[in-house]
Amino acid sequence: MTSLDASTPVTALAALVRGAVFGPDDPAAAVETAAYNLMTVHRPDVALLAADAADVAAAVSFAGRTGRTVAVQATGHSAAAAGPGSVLVLTRLLDEVTVDPVARTARVGAGVRWQQVLDAAAPYGLAALCGSAPGVGVVGYTLGGGLGPLGREYGYAADRVREIEVVTAGGEPVRATADREPELFRALRGGGAAFGIVTAMTIELVPVPTVFGGGIFYSTDIARTVLRRWQQWAPTLPEHAGTSIARLNLPDDPMLPPPLRGCPVVHLRFTATGPAEDAARLLAPMRAAGPALLDTVAEIPFAAIGSVHMDPPQPLPALERGALLAELPEAAVEAFAEITAPSAGLPFTVAELRRLGGALAREADVPNTVSGRAAAYSLFVVGVAVPPVAEAVPGALDAVLARMAPWSSGGSLLNFAGRGQRDAAFAPGDLERLRRLRAAVDPSGILAASARWS
């Protein structure tokens, strides 16, 4: 608590909630509000570490009564920054996970990270449609669509949501399903956090106890050979196999295996369900593409899926851009190889091409707002904005997208979109439908700081 006068937003909100409340001058505020992405710096009038869903509802109501907006953060991988005039709701304590092995579902709180779900589902031989980094929050990832290693077989994470518990802009708790609040249910699954603050959701699990997966790292000296082989090989894979390939500029980090430290490399990522021997045969053409610096592909528990991409667990100041590609002909591979080569001098960290298709191309059984299903590939570029290259990173990311623009299908996946790209993540008809719903459910713009599009 605080000794500030009762007229301050800190004491006024603290009187309404069970969770801890922080003002901008509270030394604990910087720690509690820190985001994984260090580019996101919050400066709200007041922050709430919510103890339960009732706290979230109280904070939203408080914001509405006092003329403030609301922002929300679980892990802060892609949270919108909360500025002056806002209330920041922190959901990390809403971390309940309940697995129903018979129904093959999990109910997860808004603060739950994917690794918690993977660990809870593993004893039942079940898996969740997480992304490449299990440290990411379940709710934010799923609201943005959710493209993961099992996507070609099972679709987007948003396709497998059964129920969403959400606090509306009016501070009312609502349960949205296919039959109850169907328009809200449709919008939230792929449309981001623009329509309410989600406090929990129930998601489907899939019967995948193990996966044949990992990565193969190649020297940049054979990058063109490996990229061309991948371009020919990836379209031949069945739906139960997924792959991406990336150019990485790795730091000199003692946490990395010695062959990779401080080196530019090519990183093939691969996963396949089913018998390991069959998956190994699928991978064989890429293992024969050239000598490997490191090959980690093996049968692993699905709960260890984070080892495939090896995304960094530590917070970073990251900038990102995304695009969807309609095709990837030889000319596109050559362009990608050229623009991402060390000789181009661009200070990006990751430039990835990911094969889409399969279940990702099919509409969900219950329609949602995930777009770009006709695209064949995703292009995703990340840069870490640290000196001495920080100022050059945005231009470097833009340069990669510009070079690949001739093969773009337009737009980007919402979770992969940079700050200025998010409207383009939706088809025009979907965007207008979302805007109409937004105007209906939040006419005062209370949730503006939570939105991932304008």
Residue 137: strand pairing partners: 113
pLDDT digits (tens, 9 = 90+) for 379-414: 999 999 999 999 999 999 999 999 999 999 988 999
Q: What is the mean pLDDT of residues 198-207?
A: 98
Separation between Cα atoms, residue 146 and residue 138, nearest integer Å? 9
Separation between Cα atoms, residue 369 and residue 375, nearest integer Å? 15
And the tokens for 221?
């000296």
- Lowest mean pLDDT, pick from 3-12, 339-348, 427-436: 3-12
**How does residue 6 score in pLDDT terms, banded at 50, 70 and 90?**
very low
Separation between Cα atoms, residue 106 and residue 128, nearest integer Å? 9
**What pLDDT is recorded for position 411?**
87
Torsion of CA 263, 331, 327, 271, to 10 degrees: -30
State percent of the chain over pLDDT 90. 83
Q: What is the mean pLDDT of residues 284-306?
A: 98
And the tokens for 87?
């209330």
Helix (H) or strand (E) holding 216: strand 210-219
At residue 206, does pLDDT exceed 80?
Answer: yes
Residue 242: strand pairing partners: 271
Q: β-strands 69-73, 86-90: how paired?
A: parallel
Q: Which residue has the higher pLDDT, 4 or 29?
A: 29
344, 223 in Cβ contact below 8 A?
Answer: no
**What pLDDT is recorded for position 308?**
97
State percent of the chain over pLDDT 70. 96
**What pLDDT is recorded for position 312?**
87
At residue 49, does pLDDT exceed 90?
Answer: yes
Averaged confidence pLDDT in the chain:
93
435, 57 in Cβ contact below 8 A?
Answer: no
Helix (H) or strand (E) holding 354: strand 350-355
Of 449, 453, 454, residue with least CA distance to 86: 449
**What pLDDT is recorded for position 422?**
74
And the tokens for 131?
């992304």
Separation between Cα atoms, residue 93 and residue 391, nearest integer Å? 36
pLDDT digits (tens, 9 = 90+) for 128-143: 999 999 999 999 999 9
pLDDT digits (tens, 9 = 90+) for 208-240: 999 999 999 999 999 999 999 999 999 999 999
What letter represents residue 365's amino acid? D
Q: Is the previous residue joined to 406 through a cis bond, with omega within 30 degrees of 0?
A: no
72, 193 in Cβ contact below 8 A?
Answer: yes
In this structure, the number of other CB atoms found within 10 A of the CB of residue 180 comes to 11
What is 113-127 written as a DSSP string?
Answer: BHHHHHHHHGGGT-B
Q: What is the mean pLDDT of residues 367-377?
A: 94
**How does residue 425 score in pLDDT terms, banded at 50, 70 and 90?**
confident
Q: What is the mean pLDDT of residues 51-64?
A: 97
**How does residue 101 score in pLDDT terms, banded at 50, 70 and 90?**
very high
**What pLDDT is recorded for position 417?**
86
Q: What is the mean pLDDT of residues 107-115?
A: 98
Helix, strand, coil percentages for the chain (3-state, nearest 5):
35, 25, 40
CA distance to 271, 273, 357, 358, 373, per residue, from 238 (Å): 11, 10, 10, 8, 17
Helix (H) or strand (E) holding 244: strand 241-249
Q: How far apart are the first and last CA of the chain?
A: 35
And the tokens for 91?
């959901």
**What pLDDT is recorded for position 7?**
62
pLDDT digits (tens, 9 = 90+) for 267-276: 999 999 999 9
**What pLDDT is recorded for position 30?**
86
Its pTM stands at 0.95
**What pLDDT is recorded for position 240?**
98
Q: What is the mean pLDDT of residues 64-71?
A: 94
Q: Which residues does 65 contact at the CB level (< 8 Å), separation at least 6?
A: none
Diameter of the chain measured on Cα atoms: 70
Q: What is the mean pLDDT of residues 339-346?
A: 97
**How does residue 10 score in pLDDT terms, banded at 50, 70 and 90?**
very high
In this structure, the number of other CB atoms found within 10 A of the CB of residue 14 comes to 21
**How does residue 433 score in pLDDT terms, banded at 50, 70 and 90?**
very high
**How does residue 450 score in pLDDT terms, banded at 50, 70 and 90?**
low
And the tokens for 220?
């940049």
| Three-class DSSP category at 303 | helix
Q: β-strands 46-49, 20-22: how paired?
A: antiparallel
